C-alpha cells in the first residue's frame, strides 16, 4: 500500500511491487504502435500490438502521480538478522533517544545505533 498517492506497479522482472516513478513512452520499431506505461525505472517493454520484445522508451518523464514521501524505517535486528520492520510517517524518536551513524567499510554500508541513556533516564545525566 503506497504511503502517498503514488500507484504501485508490478516490476516485469519479479513479483515485487514498486512505486510508479516514471511514465515511459514507446514506439514499436516493427509496427509503429505507440503507447506509454508506468514503471519504477526506464525499462524496455513488449509491444502490446504486435508482441515484439525489447522496445526501449523513446522518452521517460516523471510520473504525474509520483509523490515521494519522507518516511522513517525502524529495523529490529539481532546478530545481523532483521526480525521486524516498521515504517513511520513521523519521527518515531522525537526526543533523540537513539543516535545513528552510517558509513562505508570495504565497500559495505555499515549502520550503527547508540542509545542516548540520558534521554531515556534524565537522572543519569
| Mean pLDDT confidence for 16-45 | 88
Band of pLDDT at residue 24, cut at 50, 70 and 90: very high
Give the number of other CB atoms < 10 A from CB of residue 56. Answer: 13
SS3 88: strand
Band of pLDDT at residue 27, cut at 50, 70 and 90: very high
β pairing state of 81-88 and 72-78: antiparallel
Segments making up each domain of the chain, as ranges: 8-62, 72-124
Which pLDDT does position 116 carry in this prediction? 67
Band of pLDDT at residue 3, cut at 50, 70 and 90: very low
Whether the model clears a pTM of 0.75, i.e. scores above it, the answer is: no
Amino acid at each position: 500500500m503506497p504511503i502517498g498517492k503514488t500507484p504501485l506497479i508490478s516490476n516485469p522482472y519479479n513479483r515485487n511491487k514498486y512505486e510508479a516513478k516514471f511514465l515511459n513512452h514507446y514506439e514499436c520499431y516493427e509496427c509503429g504502435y505507440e503507447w506509454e506505461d508506468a514503471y519504477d525505472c526506464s525499462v524496455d517493454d513488449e509491444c502490446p500490438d504486435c508482441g515484439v520484445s525489447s522496445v526501449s522508451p523513446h522518452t521517460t518523464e516523471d510520473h504525474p502521480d509520483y509523490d515521494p514521501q519522507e518516511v522513517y524505517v525502524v529495523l529490529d535486528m539481532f546478530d545481523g538478522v532483521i526480525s521486524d520492520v516498521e515504517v513511520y510517517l513521523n519521527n518515531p524518536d522525537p526526543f533523540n533517544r537513539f543516535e545513528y551513524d552510517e558509513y562505508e567499510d570495504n565497500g559495505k554500508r555499515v549502520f550503527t545505533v547508540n542509545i542516548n541513556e540520558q534521554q531515556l533516564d534524565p537522572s543519569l545525566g
